[in-house]
Amino acid sequence: TRHPAQARQAWERSLQLDPTFVDALLNLAASYQEAGDWKQTWALLNRAEAAHPHSPEVWRRKGVAFFRGNDDVERARTAYL
């Protein structure tokens, strides 16, 4: 059984210990994305980008979010490239 609230608590705790921990930022963002909370999704993705601007995974996740959340194919393409 999935427990998104418990997962979010664990990722939040990880971020208290290390605010730039990219795995926690991205997984927490994905959790909010699945829940349809785009404000939290973008806040976390932007934090991940600020902390890890050269991470391919951060940019991949931003591309997915642009496509799914905004239907913004051009911004998704830019994030991927």
Q: Which residues of 8-32 are buried (b: 16+ CB within 10 A; e: fewer)?
A: beebeebbeeeeebbebbbbbbbbb
Beta carbons within 10 angstroms of residue 58's beta carbon:
23
What mean pLDDT do residues 8-28 have?
Answer: 97
pLDDT of 58 over the 70 cut: yes
Whether 69 shows a pLDDT value over 90: the answer reads: no
Residue whose C-alpha is closest to residue 65's, from 53, 51, 37, 52: 37
Mean per-residue pLDDT, 58-79: 76
3-state helix, strand, coil split of the chain in percent (to 5) is 80, 0, 20
pLDDT of amino acid 39 = 93
Structural domains of the chain in order of their starting residue, each with its CATH number: 4-80 (1.25.40.10)
